[in-house]
Chain A
Amino acid sequence: MLALDSGALLFKEEKLPPDQREQLTVTAQGIVTAYNKMSFAAVGVARQDLAAGLPFLLAVQKKASFPWLSANLLSRTERKPWFKPHTLITAGGMRIAVIGLTGQGADSLLLEKDNAVIAPWEEVLPKEIAQLHDRAEMTILLSSFPAAINRRIAEAHPEIHLILQGGNTQGNIPPERVNNTLITQVEAQGKSVGILEVRWNTQSKRWEETGAKNLLADKKNEMDRLGWQINRYRKNGDPAQTFKDQPQTLEAYNDLLARQRLLEEEIGRLTGEQKVREANRLRFSSYSSHFEPMRKELPDNPAIRAIVDATTSEVNRIGKAAAKARIADSTGRKQEGTSGNYAGSTACTSCHAPQFAKWRGTQHATAYDTLEAKGQQFNVQCLPCHITGPASQTGQEMLALAHDLRQVGCESCHGPARAHTLQPAAAKAGQPTMDTCLRCHSGEHDDRFSFSEALSRLRCGGD
């Protein structure tokens, strides 16, 4: 058994908001601790993994019991890799080489002082493959390049037998064969795990042809249809006699006969090839694959549970300390944070009591409470969708938010209303659009969300 990860493990974006860096790096370290426990064999370095800087990832590598792999993240001066370019693993009774490739993108990811550059795959991959020649029975590539690039890699290098791609496109992608390479991807955010059962022929090192079997079946189906058409012409006897005065009809019949002869030859050839394949079946490799959803019903592993609990606790401890520091700011600012143009839901009750009461009965009104129940109310990764305020709020502002702006309040749907409370007629409150909701109820977070259903259920009603 082999557990691999194609990368983008530690961070969501290529840049970290400065006021969230501490919480995010603590989370990253917790992930690595858990992966150590889960005995991952190797993880690819994707661009997102460098969001906290190259020195951070190098420090994380020292604490990881698995190698981070990248053959093309090189020092600018010496052109030597910062991480292991590949690792050799013994699993399933054979030697397996696993290579890592980091996807290219904006140069601003790496700082000048990092002395690092992400080299083109064309520059490094042939050398890696040459080095691994005869050292492994199977070669796997962990790639955070886009799918189109991975296809080009597969077309150029049949010595790579499997590409696990990630960090870019969304969704599960079943294995697709390109040349002698299977390319596959499991969906993001750990919603599924990919499972590939491989029966690998260490001598041929080639995947079984599955397309040819389908082609033979198609040709046989075509032959059946052709036979039916030809028999219609023959219904009243020899067509050469029946249609002797209808040259066009006779020509069409003869075309069908010619097509039938060609098909017979093709089917004969494909059948012969099929027999050879069947005889040599064991010479080739095969696989089966599926994606296992990570359902909530799966039992917790106590050791991992402990790691996650400790990480969550530390993240929230940091957030709580930051909140206290901001509230106790000695510069004389108001103790609790306000969000500029936001008034807080309580300000709405004097004129909109029935609407306020309706809102109190919805889950929006207890969104912050659900964080508190899980000890996550100081996690700036969670707060944006559980409070009221602009999307531009910093982590610091969210942590020190006024009490009345906790929960998903009136202004989450209707926009900032401080001006409206001062001049109700002149400054009307807004109405929610689909984009208002999709800020949090995106497909990634709520794949069953329906704007029309939510609107009809949550609408507070007019004045």
Chain B
Amino acid sequence: MTTMNKQTIFLLFSLLALLSITVSVAGAAPKRADTPKQPAKGQQELTIFFANDVRGETEPCG
């Protein structure tokens, strides 16, 4: 019999909320007064979000 995580965080919309916050912050960067730091030649910057093992749960039970 499977058991349910009563304290499972609501990943899906929480994760999207986090992604939304990050994207909006990134989008706001050009509005700042200071000049954004440019990466050096040949250097690229990237943010990777990675998730694992949602395992069929979408909503805390109780």
Nearest chain A CB to B2 CB, angstrom units: 6
State the CA gap A185–B14 with chains docked (Å): 19
A92 contacts partner chain B, Cβ-Cβ < 8 Å: yes
CA distance A315 to B41 in the complex (A): 53
Contact pattern, B 18-61, Cβ under 8 Å of A = 1, otherwise 0: 11101100100000000000011111111111111111111111
Chain A interface residue count, CB cutoff 8 Å, equals: 99
Cβ of A210 within 8 Å of any chain B Cβ, yes or no, is no
A305 within 8 A of B: yes
Specify which chain A residues have a CB less than 8 angstroms from the CB of B4 in the assembled complex: 381-382, 384-385, 445
Write the nearest CB–CB distance from A19 to chain B, whole angstroms.
11
Q: How far is the CB of A57 from chain B (nearest CB, A)?
A: 13
Q: Is A298 a contact partner of B42 (Cβ separation < 8 A)? A: no
Q: Which residues of chain B are near A147, meaning CB under 8 Å? A: none
Beyond A37-B16, A294-B15, 8 additional contacts (C-beta under 8 Å) are A1-B23, A13-B2, A38-B12, A92-B44, A94-B46, A308-B10, A385-B6, A446-B6
Q: Is the CB of B58 within 8 A of A312?
A: yes
Give every chain A residue within 8 A of B45 (Cβ-Cβ): 92-93, 197-200
Of A198, A202, A299, which is within 8 A of B47 by CB? Answer: A198
Query: Most A CB atoms within 10 A — which of B14, B46, B53?
Result: B53
Is the CB–CB distance between A193 and B15 below 8 Å? yes
- A3 & B44 in contact (Cβ 8 Å cutoff): no
Within 8 A of B (CB), among A410-455: 439-440, 442, 444-447
Nearest B residue to A445 by beta-carbon distance? Answer: B5
**Residue pair A296, B10 in contact (C-beta under 8 Å):** yes
Binary flags per residue of A166-201, CB closer than 8 Å to B gives 1, else 0: 110000000000000000111111110111111111
Check A298–B17 contact: CB distance below 8 A.
yes
Binding site for A on B (CB under 8 A): 1-20, 22-23, 26, 39-62
Question: Is B55's CB under 8 angstroms from A188's CB?
Answer: yes
A54–B61 alpha-carbon span in the complex (Å) = 29
What's the Cα separation between A140 and B47 when bound, in Å?
Answer: 13
Q: Could you say which of B19, B39, B53, B59 contacts A189, with CB atoms under 8 Å apart?
A: B53
Residue among A17, A191, A311, A392 facing the most chain B CB atoms (10 A cut-off): A191
Any B CB within 8 A of the CB of A333: no
Using A1-B23, A1-B26, A298-B17 as known contacts, say yes or no to A382 and B49 having CB atoms under 8 A apart: no
Give the contacting residue for A186; candidates B7, B18, B43, B50; CB below 8 A: B50
Report Cα–Cα, A13/B62, bound state, in Å: 22
Q: How many A-B residue pairs have CB under 8 A?
A: 254
The answer to whether B47 and A196 have CB atoms under 8 Å apart is yes
Name A366-387 residues within 8 Å CB distance of B.
367, 370-371, 373-374, 376, 379, 381-382, 384-386
Interface residues of A in 351-401 (CB under 8 A from B): 367, 370-371, 373-374, 376, 379, 381-382, 384-386, 391-393
Partner of A294 from the list B11, B26, B39, B46 (CB cut-off 8 Å) is B11
A381 touches B48 (CB 8 A): no
Q: Is the CB of A381 within 8 A of B13?
A: no
Contact A24 B56 (CB under 8 A): yes
Contact indicator per residue, chain A 83-100, by CB within 8 Å of chain B (1) or not (0):
000000001111010000
Q: By the criterion CB–CB under 8 Å, are B59 and A193 in contact?
A: no
Sample 20 A-B pairs with CB under 8 A, ordered by A number. A2-B48, A10-B54, A20-B2, A91-B46, A164-B50, A191-B9, A196-B48, A285-B43, A294-B14, A295-B14, A299-B17, A303-B16, A308-B59, A311-B58, A370-B61, A371-B61, A371-B62, A373-B62, A385-B4, A440-B3
User: Does A294 lie within 8 Å of B9, measured CB to CB?
Assistant: yes
User: Judging by beta carbons under 8 Å apart, are A31 and B56 in contact?
Assistant: yes
Indicate if the CB atoms of A197 and B47 lie closer than 8 Å: yes
Contacts of A292 in B (CB 8 A): 18
Are B18 and A202 in contact, with the CB atoms below 8 A?
no
A344 at the interface (CB under 8 A from B): no
The 5 closest A-B pairs by CB, nearest first: A190-B11, A92-B46, A370-B62, A304-B13, A166-B52
Q: Are B52 and A187 in contact (CB under 8 A)?
A: yes
Q: CB distance B43 to A4 under 8 Å? A: no
Give, as a whole number of angstroms, the nearest-CB distance from B28 to chain A.
14
Contact among A283, A307, A373 for B12, CB-based, below 8 A: A307
- Closest B-chain residue to A164, C-beta based? B50
Are the C-beta atoms of B19 and A381 separated by less than 8 Å?
no
A195 neighbours in B (Cβ, 8 Å) = 47-49
Q: Produce 1/0 per residue, A75-112, CB < 8 A to B.
A: 00000000000000001111010000000000000000
